[in-house]
């Protein structure tokens, strides 16, 4: 149970930092809101299923009594959020010029939506393990929900909904590749090093 709470806290911290910083910094740099209220509500609705599915994840259990290290927990969550924010903003600027999002508001909303969605989904695979993400297999329900959300987001980016206008197929593929590459390499490595450097006792959280 404590392992699942640990993941929930990290998930909440990292995604909150990502969403707040991404929207505010995009507004500062581009003088434009890159998401709407409807888009944020849709994002919250979709990602809530992932949060619920974490309760069924097959998480490695420590053989020793758990000891909470709150300061480290916050550091890991915030650092993951900052990394995702930097990567998401870099992706947005590429889309702004290369995919001409500056002249298509509806596609800008869609691009920002799937960027936030995919980062919010993949980070679950990164933070559920203190080791590298491939060190243990996620639960079946967790995997199915994450895959369904991922596919649903990709489909939505092609069909559009409300203010979301369809993106070019290659733009969606670029976002997916960008998110997977940075989340499963740099972000996972940084998390691993933070735990390896500080975790003298495996029971520490």
Q: What are the residues whose beta carbons fall under 8 Å from the beta carbon of 81, sequence distance 6 or more?
A: 13, 14, 15, 16, 17, 18, 21
pLDDT tens digits for range 100-120? 888 888 889 999 999 999 998
Res 48 pLDDT > 50: yes
pLDDT of residue 193: 87
Res 198 pLDDT > 90: no
pLDDT tens digits for range 142-152? 778 788 888 88
Res 32 pLDDT > 50: yes
Tokens representing residue 33 in the block: 């809101």
Q: Picking from 16-20, 115-119, 180-184, 197-201, which range would have the lowest pLDDT averaged per residue? A: 197-201
Average pLDDT over the chain, rounded to whole?
82
pLDDT bracket for residue 202 (50, 70, 90) = very low
Res 59 pLDDT > 80: no
* Dist. CA 194–CA 171, nearest whole Å: 33
Res 91 pLDDT > 90: yes
pTM: 0.83
Tokens representing residue 192 in the block: 């691993």
Q: Picking from 32-36, 50-54, 96-100, 177-181, which range would have the lowest pLDDT averaged per residue? A: 50-54
Residues 78, 20 contacting (CB under 8 angstroms): no
């Amino acid at each position: 149970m404590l392992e699942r709470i640990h993941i929930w806290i990290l998930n909440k911290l990292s995604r909150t930092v990502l969403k707040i910083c991404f929207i505010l910094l995009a507004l500062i740099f581009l003088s434009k809101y890159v998401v709407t209220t409807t888009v944020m509500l849709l994002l919250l609705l979709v990602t809530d299923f992932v949060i619920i599915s974490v309760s069924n994840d097959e998480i490695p259990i420590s053989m020793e009594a758990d000891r909470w290290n709150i300061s480290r927990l916050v550091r890991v969550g915030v650092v993951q959020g900052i990394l995702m924010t930097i990567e998401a903003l870099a992706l947005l600027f590429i889309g702004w010029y290369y995919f001409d999002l500056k002249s298509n508001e509806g596609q800008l909303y869609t691009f920002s939506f799937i960027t936030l969605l995919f980062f919010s989904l993949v980070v679950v695979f990164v933070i559920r393990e203190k080791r590298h993400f491939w060190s243990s297999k996620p639960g079946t329900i967790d995997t199915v929900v994450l895959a369904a959300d991922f596919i649903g987001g990709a489909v939505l980016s092609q069909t559009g909904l409300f203010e979301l206008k369809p993106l070019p197929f290659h733009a969606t593929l670029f976002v997916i590749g960008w998110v997977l590459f940075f989340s499963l390499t740099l972000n996972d490595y940084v998390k691993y090093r933070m735990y390896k450097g500080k975790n003298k006792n495996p029971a520490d959280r």
